[in-house]
């Protein structure tokens, strides 16, 4: 999959418009649209921001990885949980509903940091 296709796929997965991404990157919408159409490519700084917005590695965006780096996400979550004293054993003891609540809360925190 080419960069332009991964970019579009990541955006759609996050349920964002081109305009919303452009605003987050502080570029005009047509600039972002050109990236998705393969007419131009983003700067290194824009790639860094895109990887944060989409929660994927730059390597994934540019095609050096076949799948998003799930291990990096898992490691971040484990680090977060260990920081606040939640062990894997405690996580396993959560009910399905409690785990969903925890997941939603953490995702809300992540999303609020992105905005």
What would the pLDDT profile of 57-67 be if each residue is shown by its tens digit?
888 899 886 66
Percent of the chain with pLDDT over 70: 83
Q: 63-67: long-range contacts at Cβ-Cβ below 8 A with a sequence spacing of 24 or more?
A: 63/1, 63/2, 63/3, 63/6
Contact between 36 and 4 under an 8 Å Cβ cutoff? The reply is yes
45, pLDDT greater than 80: yes
Average pLDDT, rounded, for the chain: 83
Close Cβ partners of 26 (under 8 Å, ≥ 6 residues apart): none
The two three-digit tokens of residue 87, written as one number: 């062990």
Q: What is the pLDDT of residue 89?
A: 74
Give the other-Cβ count within 10 Å of 60's Cβ.
Answer: 20
Looking from the CA of 6 toward its CB, the CA atoms found within 13 Å total: 22
Q: What is the pLDDT of residue 55?
A: 84
For the ranges 31-45, 70-84, 93-107, which has the lowest average pLDDT? 70-84
């Amino acid at each position: 999959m080419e960069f332009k296709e991964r970019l579009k796929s990541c955006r759609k997965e996050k349920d964002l418009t081109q305009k919303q991404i452009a605003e987050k990157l502080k570029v005009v919408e047509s600039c972002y649209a050109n990236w998705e159409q393969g007419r131009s490519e983003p700067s290194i700084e824009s790639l860094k921001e895109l990887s944060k917005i989409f929660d994927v590695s730059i390597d994934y965006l540019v095609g050096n990885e076949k799948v998003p780096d799930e291990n990096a996400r898992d490691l971040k979550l484990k680090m977060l949980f260990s920081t606040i004293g939640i062990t894997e054993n405690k996580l396993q003891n959560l009910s399905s509903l409690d785990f969903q609540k925890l997941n939603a809360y953490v995702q809300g925190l992540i999303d609020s940091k992105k905005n």
